[in-house]
Amino acid sequence: MSLLWSRLSTTRVFDWSSILSEWINTFNMPVYVEVVMANLKEASNPDSTYEPTIEQFLRYFNHEQPAITWFLFENVTHRWMWSSPRLDYVRQLVDHVENLEGYFPDFPGSPGRSQTIRQWLTANLDEDELEYVEMMPALTRMPQPQAQTASTWTYETPTRPTRPASTNAPRAGRRSSLPDATPRYAKVQFRLLREDNDKSTNDDIIVISKAAGDLYNVCYNDQQAGVKMKTQDLTQAQVQTFLSNTFRLLSVDNQPFHNLQVTLPGLPSIMVAPEDLDSQTRDLIYDSVEMVMENWPILA
C-alpha cells in the first residue's frame, strides 16, 4: 500500500513528542514517521513529479513544534541522497520554528543539546543555502548603563564556522538546488519585558503573522510559564480586538511588565511603558497595525 498522500489528504497526527520518544526508545520506526519519510523521499527526488505542499506536512504534524523541528532536520540531512535538500521546504519550515535558539527533540540521530537549531543549520548549510533560507538573526540585549532602565535590542548575526566550498553538482530535472522564492511575509511582534530582568527567555511574546488571504494568526508565548497559545485564521477586526483587550489588561495589572516593545515591519521599533499606553498611544499602535495588515510587507 502506498504511503504517499493524495492532493486531498487532510490527515492529522497528534502528540508527536510521544511518537518521537517511542522511536528512540524502541529503535522501531513508527508508522507515522514512515509516512513522512516516504513522502519526503519522493518529494525530494528530482525525477519525480510528486509535489506535496509544505501545508500538507504541517497539517499532518498538527503544527506541533517537535514534529516541525524533526522534519527540518530530515530535510537537510536528506542531501546525502539527492545532493541538495528541499530548500523550499527548509525555508518555510524555518518560519514555523518558534525558537531557533532552542534544541531539536530526541529522535535517532538528533543533535540533542550539543547545538541549537540555529547553530546546526548554520553548520550544515553552505553560504548560498543560508542566504536563500534567510534565518532571522538572533535577538540579543545590549549592555546598559546601571541608571538606564529601558532595554535596548539589536540583531546579532552568529559567527559561522569555516567550511569548505560545496562540491555538490546542481540538481537535475524539475527543481534547481535554490528554488524560486515564494513570498515571505514579515511578522508583527509585541514583546512584554519583565521588570529588572535581563533574560529575554522570560519575556512574553505576541507574534501576529499573515495567513491566507485576509486572515491572520496570533501566537502568545508566555515563556516564563512555558505556555504557548496559537489562534489561527482571525480577521483583521478580531486581531484588533485581541490587541485592545491585551492593552486594557496591561493597564490594570497590579504587577505590570516593565516595558512593551512594539516591532512592526517597515516601521521603527518602539518601547512603551505600560503606564504610557494612553488612548492616543493605543490608537497609534492600532492604526499602524492596520496599515501593515492592509499591505503586508514582503521580506526582500
53 contact partners, CB below 8 Å, separation of at least 6: none
Between CA 116 and CA 275 the distance in angstroms is 37
Torsion of CA 76, 81, 84, 87, to 10 degrees: -50
pLDDT in tens, 159-173: 544 444 444 444 434
Between CA 251 and CA 243 the distance in angstroms is 12
Low pLDDT (below 70) residues in the chain: 1, 81-83, 135-183, 195-201, 300
| Angle ∠(227,99,229) on CA atoms, nearest 5 | 30
What is the structure's pLDDT at 121?
Answer: 93
Helix pair angle (31-44, 16-26), 10° resolution: 100
Domain ranges of the chain: 1-179, 183-300
Nearest CA to 51 out of 39, 33, 63, 65 is that of 39
Half-sphere exposure of 84 (CA within 13 A, CB side): 22
Between CA 87 and CA 159 the distance in angstroms is 22
What is the structure's pLDDT at 139?
Answer: 47
Please name the amino acid found at residue 194. Answer: R
The model carries a pTM of 0.52
